[in-house]
Amino acid sequence: MGFLDTLLGRTKPVQPKLDDLFALPSAAVTLEAGAGFRPTGSGSVCFRAVEGRSFADVQRDVQELLDVSAGKEGGLPVEVTKDSYGFTWLVSSRMSSELDALVTDLHAVNSALAEAGFGPQLLCTLVAFRDDQERRLGLVYLYKRGTFYPFAPTGGERRDNALELQVKGVIGTDLKFEPDLSRWFPVWGAPGL
């Protein structure tokens, strides 16, 4: 925020950074080779819905768009859930081999919201992974920072920090990881994870 904005008490809503999302498929290959985690095929976009007709229209359009593209390829329709914090999650479920298509889906949601001027409402995107021991792992993309971080819930409100740091090490520079560990905020009970 600039000096003048501070002085006048204005905040410019932070616009999301969208393009880094496409680094996911290649990072997933590295992750599978290095740690044995495979994509489950489900991913979700989390945003804060704005009250009023305008936002509702945009959200409906996005949903229809994704349903049509999933329907053509025999996929499942998009699932919409609202979590206990009042945030909306659009969950897209694909085959586990279709990570490219999943990322394209997620990006379609982002760009549709940003296009309609609701970019600042985007919170994060989550892509789910699992290994042979059924350990859960999510790679979370923070729109406002344009960075990723791993999130590994272990049941209850606990997370496996060692696994998270290991995943960060395995993927290395394939993804832009969030350097500030205090921003690796948990998303307990995230749909699709």
Closest distance between other proteins and the C-beta of residue 172, in Å? 24
Closest distance between other proteins and the C-beta of residue 191, in Å? 15
Binding of residue 129 to other proteins (CB under 8 A): no
Q: What angle do CA 113, 128, 169 make, to 5 degrees?
A: 110
DSSP, res 177: B
String of contacts with other proteins for each residue 23-62, x by CB under 8 A: -------------------------xxxxxxxx-------
Out of 19, 132, 134, 157, the residue judged to bind other proteins by CB under 8 A: 157
Closest distance between other proteins and the C-beta of residue 171, in Å? 21
| Cα distance between the two ends of the chain | 35
# residues near other proteins by CB under 8 A: 43
- Give the residue with the Cβ less far from other proteins, 10 or 60: 10
Q: What angle do CA 91, 84, 41 make, to 5 degrees?
A: 20
Comparing CA positions, the residue from 33, 105, 114 lying closest to residue 76 is: 105
| CA 114/CA 116 separation, integer angstroms | 5
Binding of residue 142 to other proteins (CB under 8 A): yes
Q: What angle do CA 88, 150, 55 make, to 5 degrees?
A: 20
The residues of the shown chain that bind other proteins, judged by CB under 8 A, are 1, 6-15, 48-55, 84-87, 114-121, 123-124, 142, 144-145, 157, 180, 182-183, 185-186, 188
